[in-house]
Amino acid sequence: MSSFNQHTTGSEVAKALTSRSTGKTFIITGPSSNSIGGATAVALAHGHPKTIFLTGRNEAKISPVIKEIKAIDSAIDVVFVKMDLASQESVRRAAAEILAGGKAGVVHGLVNNAGVMCVLPYQETVEGIELQFGINHIGHFLLTNLLLPRIVAAGPHARIVNVASTGYVLGDLDMENYNFDNGKTYHPWLAYAASKTANILFNTYLASHLQDKGVEAFALQPGMLKRQTVPPTELYIHTRDDNSLASMTEAFKIITKKYEGKTPPSGDIQGDEKTLETAASTLVFAALDPGLDGRSGLFLRNCQPFPTEGYATDAERARKLWELSEKLVGEKFDI
């Protein structure tokens, strides 16, 4: 069991595990200011890595994070790479930029953090994929595979961190109908749950196929930010209207009906309440903690292993999702 918990901050984890980060190279997607990804990047700076790549759509939203990192350790080389996960062309261009720049000869940690939640109304990526599935899973699937040779090159205990959510328990992923009948049967929470189930299935496939190559993969629940977080993070923008299908009230209705009074496998809500700084802890823990060596494939919550439902870790379903993902990005990846 880890000594870290729900109330541990990301910087506390990073300071305790500097031997696993000093002089190394990390990539974090979606590290905007006032976000879990941004807090993770700042926390990781306390471990004095050599290089941190920060990918996102808007450099202006990431510039404050870069300044915070530099204030902690001016020697860290912080590289912004423009990338829109809703465009496969953009993902390919960003990966090419990272690979060609000479600063990512090896990548010790890739943190697939960026994501959207409960998007309303129904939207699609550039390639016509439901937006939550497209950004939360397909974009990261493509990026991870394009960068994988450099992650493998980093040697033992290189890490791929997939930020999922215990919200996956709201609903499964229908691989035959990931676009919800082109939006006709779309529900923002069920689409979110499907995308988070995909994150865990993806993690399952990576863990089983990379264990002999020295790369470990972990999925996780970062935590649920307290409603009084000011200003509210962009992730929760669609959930703030209590009369919306994307409201937290609607999520509770779905989960109450689904589990009929039983305790849902997502755990207690109070155990998930976090600030940005404490939400970052499990991401940093997953990227660095030596106690996770050789334990690839775990799902983490509050810096501890946490059980998952079988449908999210089933090896055959993970294989089917991999094949669907290859089809949707138009490229096969033999790992």
CB proximity list for 164: less than 8 A, separation 6 or greater: 196, 199, 200, 203, 219, 220, 221, 299
C-alpha span between 121 and 289 (Å, rounded): 39
Q: Is residue 32 situated within a structural domain? A: yes
Q: Is residue 234 situated within a structural domain? A: yes
Distance linking the first and last C-alpha atoms of the chain: 31
Q: Residues 168, 186, 192, 205: which is the catalytic one?
A: 192
C-alpha span between 120 and 88 (Å, rounded): 22
Q: What is the pTM of this model?
A: 0.96
Q: Is residue 2 situated within a structural domain? A: no
Q: Is residue 50 situated within a structural domain? A: yes
C-alpha span between 25 and 48 (Å, rounded): 10
Strands of 2-90 (E only): list them. 25-29, 51-56, 77-82
Is residue 32 within 8 Å of residue 65, measured between CB atoms? Answer: yes
The CATH number linked to 64 is 3.40.50.720
Q: Is residue 210 situated within a structural domain? A: yes
C-beta neighbour count of 297 within 10 angstroms: 18
Q: Is residue 5 situated within a structural domain? A: no
How many domains does the chain divide into? 1
C-alpha span between 66 and 229 (Å, rounded): 22
Q: Is residue 266 situated within a structural domain? A: yes
Q: Is residue 253 situated within a structural domain? A: yes
Tens-binned pLDDT, residue by residue, of the chain (335 aa): 689 999 999 999 999 999 999 999 999 999 999 999 999 999 999 999 999 999 999 999 999 999 999 999 999 999 999 999 999 999 999 999 999 989 999 999 999 999 999 999 999 999 999 999 999 999 999 999 999 999 999 989 999 999 999 999 999 999 999 999 999 999 999 999 999 999 999 999 999 999 999 999 999 999 998 755 545 556 666 676 777 898 989 998 999 999 987 889 998 888 999 999 999 999 999 999 999 999 999 999 999 999 999 999 999 999 999 999 999 999 999 99
Residue 145 domain boundaries? 10-325
Pairing of strands 304-305, 299-301: antiparallel
Does residue 311 carry a catalytic annotation? no
